[in-house]
Amino acid sequence: MSDDERPAGSDDDADDQDYEDSGEEELEPTPEPKKVSLTTIIVGVALVVVVFAVIVAFFIHAVGSSHGSGQNAAQDVRVAQTITFTSSGLAQVQVSVTNSTPDTSNYLINLSVTNASGKSLLDTATANVENVDPGQTSRQQVPLYSITKDNVQGAKVAITNVLRTPSS
Judge if pTM exceeds 0.85.
no
Per-residue pLDDT band at 68 (split at 50, 70, 90): low
Residue 109 has a CB neighbour count (10 Å cut-off) of 24
Q: Who has greater pLDDT, 13 or 33?
A: 33
Query: What's the average model confidence in pLDDT over 16-25?
Result: 57
pLDDT at 64 over 50: no
Query: What single string gives the DSSP state of each residue in 14-79?
Result: HHHHHS-TT-PPPPPPPPPPPPPPHHHHHHHHHHHHHHHHHHHHHHHHHHHSSSEESHHHHTTEEE
Q: What is the mean pLDDT of the chain?
A: 81
Q: How far is CA 71 from CA 64, 66, 156, in A?
A: 8, 11, 21
Sketch out the chain's domains with CATH numbers.
Answer: 68-166 (2.60.40)
Residue-wise pLDDT tens digits, 94-136: 999 999 999 999 999 999 999 988 889 999 999 999 999 999 9
Q: Who has greater pLDDT, 90 or 9?
A: 90
CA distance 27 to 51: 44
Query: What's the average model confidence in pLDDT over 44-61?
Result: 69
User: Under a CB-based contact definition with an 8 Å cutoff, are residues 144 and 80 in contact?
Assistant: no
CA distance 14 to 117: 90
Per-residue pLDDT band at 60 (split at 50, 70, 90): low
Residue 78 has a pLDDT of: 95
Query: What's the average model confidence in pLDDT over 40-54?
Result: 76
The sign of the torsion formed by the CA atoms of 136, 127, 157, 151 equals: positive
Residue 105 has a pLDDT of: 94
CA torsion, ordered 137, 143, 147, 148, to nearest 10 deg: 110
Residue 104 has a pLDDT of: 95
Residue 127 has a pLDDT of: 95
Residue-wise pLDDT tens digits, 72-89: 899 999 999 899 999 999
For residue 138, which of 100, 110, 92, 168 has the smallest C-alpha distance? 100
pLDDT at 13 over 60: no
For residue 152, which of 93, 74, 64 has the smallest C-alpha distance? 93
